[in-house]
Chain A
Amino acid sequence: MSETILEVTDLKTQFYTERGVVRAVDGVSFDVKQGEIVGLVGESGAGKSVTTSSVMRLIEEPGEVVGGEVDYMGRTIVGFDDTGEELVPRDDMLSESEMREDVRGNEIAIIFQDPMESLNPVYTVGGQVKEFIEINRDIDGKEAKAEAIEMLRRVGIPEAAERYDDYPHEFSGGMRQRVLIAMALGCRPNLIIADEPTTALDVTVEGQILELVDDLQEEFGTSFIWVTHDMGVVAEICDRVNVMYLGQIVEQGPVDEIFHDTQHPYTEALLNSIPRPDRTVGDLEPIEGTMPGAMNPPSGCRFHPRCPDAREPCREVAPEFRVAAETADGSPHRAACLKHEDVGYWDAGPLDSGASETTPAGADAAAEEGER
């Protein structure tokens, strides 16, 4: 296995709102190895984008990274010391200006979801690509411009040199997403975070973009964190997957294992909700209910109000995130489900109903207190 470049351990990010503290990311751990595409999958609100923003330290008020560690190639992006009373940022944590100058853009680049909003409408497309290349690589303006045109050509913009001076509104959505990919790759980062980059595009264009990324990824050797809610995209592009639910990772492993040896009911539900050639639309099973807010997460297993397999212990016991299955190549396949624990899940009876199960906020908090 190749070298690990990014290691996220027990990351916690909170938002302080008027209605209370939202634990948007609540103890997330995963890693990314050189040259692989790692999926971060889940419904909207699961905390995927907050996770990636935390990795880049771009969380803005009223949010804050409150715990955990993010290590990028031996450098500490996030790290805390426990003084006994509180967690204080560690001394070796990169400063804001180090983040800006050494990490953002030149080591870790990002592609956002909405290509319409991601480009500045009043500057030329080429100028924007050139600007980011210029600040993130040690080259002068002329070289940066040549590089920008070259990158635009590589991502499949026809007549790149002529279109360099066009404005974003003169490009289609798919073309703009190509521009953003050119921007990211042009900075020669080690890792690119792609935050639902194809969600706003239609299926045909999505397919083209995925193909393009697959090709370029191989050529440049860049690692990706691919954020999506679409298991279909995961199947097409990812090497390993992290499935997120309500601020936590519930299943993690190589993509084949996740698809063929699914260990968590939520992952199963996600898989059942995607169209596949061997099934008709009638076979699709939407996931029941909606994801509860991260303000008062359900007690025990957070998925239990919606889980078709939920049994009595699920309401009280929070499952541990642990190795759940053997894999062919020995890389861990983890899941957080009581089925893999020795807490009497198999002996208990099912919860009477799935989605209608709700617990009052107070009980939630009490249950959470009890766990600690």
Chain B
Amino acid sequence: MGLLRYTLNRVLQSIPVMFGIAVITFLLVNSMPGNPVDIMLAEQEASPELIAAIEARYGLDEPLHIQFLNYIGLSWILGAVGIPGFVGSPPGILQGDLGFSMYYERPVADLMLTRLPPTLLLMISAFAFAIATAVPLGVLAAKRRNQPADHVSRVVALIGVSTPSFWIGIMLIILFSVQLGWLPSGRLVYPWRDPSHYGLTSQWELYYQTVRHLILPMVALGTLQMATIMRVERSSMIESLQKEYVQLARAYGVSERKIMRKHAFRPSQLPVVTLIGLNLTSAIGGAVLIEMVFSINGMGRLLIQAIQTHDYQLTIGTTVVIGFVFVIGVIITDISYAYIDPRVSYGEEN
């Protein structure tokens, strides 16, 4: 009840943020030196007429403020209410149209649909890997505080936070793909495609290949997350273990095992969830590099290509979509808060 309203509210609140992102990105890409038509025609001796024709086709001949109004979709609105000069303007972001990619010659929204899923797959598996390993390890380190297991975890964590993910990726490829030949080094096999696309015969084979292809990039991207989550999990658990309610549980004969799994565990997860929520942003940056290293056709690679080719609308579209994914991540974080800690409400009082 409150949950649904809360989520809807948050999504609605994020619209101005998205709009802000679009405006800033628009100004930034237009302030880059060079222009897309030059890059498009770099190989050929283009006549001034051809250049003019292309510019006209993509609306680049208009003054900047008009281009902006067009892109945002304000021109369309002005046209719809009959302001002369704007009638017949194309729809823009406000109408849900993310624009058209000059480089790919396809609508930006189409590209998103093919490029977003691999990135999400990579990010979700990297975080799943990080959480699944870091939480038990952090709890163990807290339980065996200042004993060998704790020291080992501290060293592992230190290495994890201080090694760049792309370097880990390259090392993993050298070791597991090149030297040992155990795992593939690049490209992903998408579980949502038809098995025959990859020359496979069954769904299970497809999933198996997906997992094989995913392991190395997942570990490369997830290691940093694992290291930071593990440390926070450890210190948070140690704090909870000293709380009076844990001592009370002991005084009532609750076993250490149950204290670790229940009494101390759940109150410790709030800082961990906060950290995961925050790290979702930085992980997007990491994903861009990992996609390059492992030749994954995701959002990261798309964004880099868009910037390199001065593909204005694609750059803005990609940025806005990444921003939106981030907003969703924050909402999920907030909802998990309220689930973990009953003192957090969805803010419906007042």
Contact = CB atoms under 8 A, between A and B. Distances in A.
Q: Are A and B interaction partners?
A: yes
Interface of A: 56, 58, 99-101, 103-106, 109-110, 112, 114, 117-123, 131-132, 135-136, 167, 169, 183, 187
B250 interface: yes
Contacts of A118: 244-245, 248
B61 to A, nearest CB: 61
Contacts of B243: 117
Interface stretch (B21-29, B116-124, B202-210, B336-344): B336-344
Given A121-B343, A122-B340, A169-B343, A58 B252 contact: no
Contact of B252 (A109, A117, A121, A122): A109
B249 to A, nearest CB: 8
A131 to B, nearest CB: 8
Contact of A58 (B244, B247, B263): B247
Given A114-B244, A167-B342, A121 B267 contact: yes
Interface in B235-286: 243-245, 247-255, 263, 266-267
Q: Which 7 residue pairs are nearest across A and B when measured between Cβ atoms?
A: A105-B252, A117-B244, A104-B253, A105-B253, A167-B342, A120-B245, A110-B251
Interface in B314-350: 340-343
B248 A106 contact: no
Interface string B300-326: 000000000000000000000000000
A187 B253 CA distance: 11
B255 A121 contact: no
Contacts of A167: 342-343
Contacts of A120: 245, 249, 263, 267
Given A100-B253, A100-B255, A135-B253, A121 B248 contact: no
8 contacts: A104-B250, A114-B244, A117-B245, A132-B254, A135-B252, A136-B252, A136-B253, A167-B343
B258 to A, nearest CB: 9
A118 B263 CA distance: 12
Contacts of B263: 120
Contacts of A105: 251-253
Contact of B250 (A58, A136, A183): A58
Given A120-B263, A169-B342, A183-B252, 5 more contacts: A58-B251, A105-B252, A109-B252, A112-B244, A118-B245
Nearest to B269: A122
A178 B244 CA distance: 17
Contact of B267 (A103, A106, A122): A122
A132 B249 CA distance: 8
Contacts of B245: 117-121
B253 A106 contact: yes
Given A112-B244, A121-B342, A135 B267 contact: no
Contacts of A123: 266
A135 B254 contact: yes
